Amino acid sequence: MNAWIEKQKYLIDFTLASLARRKAKSLGLLLVYSLIVFLLASVMLFTHALRHAANEFLAGAPEIVLQRMVAGRHDLIPPGYLERIGRLRGVQEKQGRLWGYYYDPVVKANYTFMVADDRPLAPGKLVVGAGLARTRGVAPGNLISFRAYSGKLFTFSIADILPAKSELVSADLVLLSEADFRAFFDIPPGHYTDITLRVANPLEVRNIAGKLAQQFPDSRPILREEILRTYDSIFSWREGIVLALATLALLAFAILAWEKASGLSADERREIGILKAIGWETGDVLRMKFWEGALLSLSAFLLGYLAAYVHVFHFAASFLSPVLKGWAVLYPRFELSPVIDGLQVTTLFFFTVFPYAAATLVPIWRTAITDPDAVLRG
């Protein structure tokens, strides 16, 4: 056993010396390889943590949101709907929500205006999200004016700012009183944006949604499980930008592996020829090259993965945020809670380490089994 270990160590020594002879090429390869792993691992860690956060935070969302559709578009809930729902068995709590969007031409950002029933506010007072406060540069006590869609100017005073820690769900929120909301958007009393329903028994939710769809044919019930599924699929491995990034990275990797697999350089071929000529067996050559592939791919995996971890969880995924920000002016500052999926890390490991090691072994084997004389001359 000791002899075997010693032999492997000598092979590694030789491999490292061989890599050191081609320093620039080896380092370049390690860098590109690590970058590919870094990119894939960053996206993987970020999207997994984000999906987990969405599932965790939105678990408290209402079980059912009932929207009204008119000509295929979302419309206001007219008076009388709430009362009619009251007769449905299994509905524990129902509430009309008032919320809408407002485009602020001052900073060219969209805000979400909302009435918080649990947080009564005096008329003329606002509570704003931390992202909005940062973008508009406002603090509690400041005045802020918005021009309503009717053309009338409304001036509010900032009563409070929502905690910065909750920016991932509240960065663009503007909470105001019901009277102010109705006056600002010119929404008559009794009308609501949508209705939320709390259902005590989770097994009843689909049943109640079915009854709602039956009772209100112009409505669209949105279940919490659908909301969670929406977020589950937004950053899924199989979809959208993640797929595009993963495909590009894998393509780059395939080119790298193909370059290795399609043939060896003249230097490498000569090296193998000399080794065979001085008495190395085919198995030894293969083992030496296996160590080369294994050391390189393992180092690249560890470097890439660790850099990705630090990037996502200690530097708030700063390289990915321009992609997520898009044209948005108002973007939340948030720190994701690290959730690492063992299966994903293992998949990444297998997809990056093994193909490379395999791709390097095949041409080596082809060269190693040919006559050294032919290899050296050829």
Between residue 56 and residue 115, which ones bind other proteins under the rule CB under 8 A?
56-62, 65, 67, 69, 72-74, 95, 97, 101, 109-110, 112, 114
The residues in 227-256 that bind other proteins, with binding defined as CB under 8 A, are: 227, 229-235, 239-241
Contact 229, 106 (CB under 8 A): no
List 153, 327, 343, 377, residue binding other proteins (CB under 8 A): 327
User: Between 206 and 261, whose beta carbon lies closer to other proteins?
Assistant: 206
Contact 198, 83 (CB under 8 A): no
* Minimum CB distance to other proteins smaller for 4 or for 327: 327
Q: Which stretch binds other proteins (CB under 8 A): 145-153, 172-180, 247-255, 350-358?
A: 172-180
Q: Taking CB under 8 A as the rule, does residue 16 contact other proteins?
A: yes
Closest distance to other proteins from the beta carbon of 371 (Å): 30
Smallest CA-to-CA distance from 115 within 55, 63, 182, 163 is with 182
- Pick from 3, 214, 283, 377 the residue near other proteins by CB under 8 A: 214
67 φ/ψ angles, rounded to the nearest 5 degrees: -105, 155
List the interface residues with other proteins, window 250-289 (CB under 8 A): none
Binding test (CB under 8 A) with other proteins, winner from 163, 202, 263, 378: 163
Q: What is the DSSP string of 165-233?
A: GGHHHHTTEEEE-HHHHHHHHTPPTT-BSEEEEEES-GGGHHHHHHHHHHH-TTEEEEEHHHHHHHHHH
Helical ranges in 22-121 per DSSP H: 23-57, 81-85
Which of 126, 129, 180, 184 touches other proteins (CB under 8 A)?
129
67 vs 370 by CB, closer to other proteins: 67
Q: How many Cα atoms are found within 13 Å in the side-chain-facing hemisphere of 224?
A: 20
Taken as a whole, the chain contains a residue count of 378
Which residue number, 126 or 375, has a Cβ lying nearer to other proteins?
Answer: 126
- The least CB distance from residue 120 to other proteins, in Å, is 12
Site for other proteins in 340-359 (CB under 8 A): 340
Q: How many CB atoms within 10 Å of residue 285?
A: 20
Of 304 and 372, CB closest to other proteins: 304
Q: Which of 82, 84, 61, 60 is nearest to 192 (CA)?
A: 82
In the bound state with other proteins, the residue whose beta carbon lies nearer, of 328 and 376, is 328
Structure tokens at 62: 């209402």
**For other proteins, which stretch binds (CB under 8 A), given 24-32, 223-231, 264-272, 282-290?**
223-231
| Closest CB to other proteins among residues 111, 273 | 111
- By the rule CB under 8 A, 339 interacts with other proteins: yes
SS3 of the chain: helix, strand, coil, percent, to 5:
55, 15, 25
